[in-house]
Structure formats: structure tokens, C-alpha cells
């Protein structure tokens, strides 16, 4: 008797948006092509998308799906170098510069695995053990000299390029990157050898 007619005439179907409307995305500058949804329709759509899971299995499934999507984006970012999806240790302009600084040069430590295999084979040959030991010590010394030179060059470049930002962790990050073979480095190198770091 005292109810408003608008509530009586309102169909239950109007409160629930169609799946097509929910999934449709459009350019904000383009004309809509449909009437503006009522507040009740918009609220129903918002509540449906933010509805919490009903049971533990559903919650676990949603968490797995979200984790899978995040890992997929992270994997893609490690190849493309997209900053927003990289792991936290690789984010930021200082880390990107350190990566590029390492990737533009040749380093002794890059081929450590190859040196180790050669020295292992030489140490098995009778009479070559002293030579293998000298070679091993020479490679270790060359790596240390290369790392010291890299640290000073990188420190100078970072102070010029990023004087007001913290360089904490950039030097060990760069040294660890020199130990990896260039093809296997993650995030993938974005510059060629000899180019200037970005």
C-alpha cells in the first residue's frame, strides 16, 4: 500500500548486469552506446566481482590462480625487462643501471664454469697438476682484479648518474651478475656489449 511504484516495477533482472556488460571494456573517450547503469546495477556488479570465496577450496583455488598469474607476469618481465613486474631485488633505476653496466662489458668471472672444467680435466692428467694449480690461482686473481675494477667504475658511474639515490646493494648485485653467463642472466640483458648503459 505504501510502497513506491518504482520498487514494484523494478524487475530482479535489472539489478544483475549481464556477463557481456561485465566483461566489456571500452575506450574512455569513445561514446558508450548504452544507457548509464543505475546505481543499484553498478553496486551489484561491484559486489559480484569483489565477492569473497564461499569455502576454503574456492579460496585456495583463487589464491593459486592469483599466484600463477603473478609468476607468469614476473617470468615475462624477466625476459622483457618490464620494471613493475620484476622481483623486488631487480627493481629501480639504480639496479637497472648496474645490470646494464655489467652487460655492456666482458668479465673474467663470466666464464668461470668453463675455466673450472678445464682445470678439472688438467688436474686429472698426470704431471699437469702444478700447471692446473697455477692456472686456478691466476684465474681467481684475475677475477678479483676484475671485480675491484668493476666496483670502482660502477661506483663512479652511479655517483654521476644517481647522486641523490641510495646505492645500497648495487655493488654485490653487479658482482653476482658477472658470475652468470650472459645468455643465462635474468633479467635478460637489454643492451649489447659496447653500448652505453641506459
Residue-wise pLDDT for 92-103, tens only, equals 999 999 999 999
Cα distance between residue 44 and residue 36, in whole Å: 14
33/171 Cα distance (integer angstroms): 56
Lowest model confidence (mean pLDDT) among 37-41, 51-55, 134-138, 165-169? 51-55
Q: How far is CA 1 from the centre of its chain?
A: 62
Asked whether the beta carbons of 112 and 143 are under 8 A apart, the reply is: yes
The DSSP 8-state label assigned to residue 31 in this structure reads -
Which range, of 25-29, 75-79, 134-138, averages the lowest pLDDT?
Answer: 25-29
> Using alpha carbons only, how large is the chain's radius of gyration in Å?
29
Annotate 39-102 with DSSP letters as a single string: HHHHHHHHHHHTPPPSSHHHHHHHHHHHHHHHHHHHHHHHHH--GGGS-GGG-SHHHHHHHHHH
Tell me the pTM. Answer: 0.67
User: 112 is written with which cell numbers?
Assistant: 668461470
- How does 75-108 read in b/e, with b if 16+ C-beta sit within 10 Å? eebbeebeeebbeeebebebbbbbbbbbbbeebb
Please, what's the b/e burial string for 116-155 (b: 16 or more CB within 10 A of its CB; e: otherwise)?
Answer: eeebeebeeeeeeeeebeebbeebeeebeebbeebeeebe
Tell me if residue 139 falls in helix, strand or coil: helix
| Domain definitions of the chain by residue range | 34-86, 89-184
Over 70: is that where the pLDDT of 144 sits?
yes
Q: Quick one: average pLDDT of 41-68?
A: 82
Determine the pLDDT at residue 6. Answer: 57
Helix/strand/coil (H/E/C) assignment for every residue in 142-160:
HHHHHHHHHHHHHHHHHHH
Amino acid at each position: 500500500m505504501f510502497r513506491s511504484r518504482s520498487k514494484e516495477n523494478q524487475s530482479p533482472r535489472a539489478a544483475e548486469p549481464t556477463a557481456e556488460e561485465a566483461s566489456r571494456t571500452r575506450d574512455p573517450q569513445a561514446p558508450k552506446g548504452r544507457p548509464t547503469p543505475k546505481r543499484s546495477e553498478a553496486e551489484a556488479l561491484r559486489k559480484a566481482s569483489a565477492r569473497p570465496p564461499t569455502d576454503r577450496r574456492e579460496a585456495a583455488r583463487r589464491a593459486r590462480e592469483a599466484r600463477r598469474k603473478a609468476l607468469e607476469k614476473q617470468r615475462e618481465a624477466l625476459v622483457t625487462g618490464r620494471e613493475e613486474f620484476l622481483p623486488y631485488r631487480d627493481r629501480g633505476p639504480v639496479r637497472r643501471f648496474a645490470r646494464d653496466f655489467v652487460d655492456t662489458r666482458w668479465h673474467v668471472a663470466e666464464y668461470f664454469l668453463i675455466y673450472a672444467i678445464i682445470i678439472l680435466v688438467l688436474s686429472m692428467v698426470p704431471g699437469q697438476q702444478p700447471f692446473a694449480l697455477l692456472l686456478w690461482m691466476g684465474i681467481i686473481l684475475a677475477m678479483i682484479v676484475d671485480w675491484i675494477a668493476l666496483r670502482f667504475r660502477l661506483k663512479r658511474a652511479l655517483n654521476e648518474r644517481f647522486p641523490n639515490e641510495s646505492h645500497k646493494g648495487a655493488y654485490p648485485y653487479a658482482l653476482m651478475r658477472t658470475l652468470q653467463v650472459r645468455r643465462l642472466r635474468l633479467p635478460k640483458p637489454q643492451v649489447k656489449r659496447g653500448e652505453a648503459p641506459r
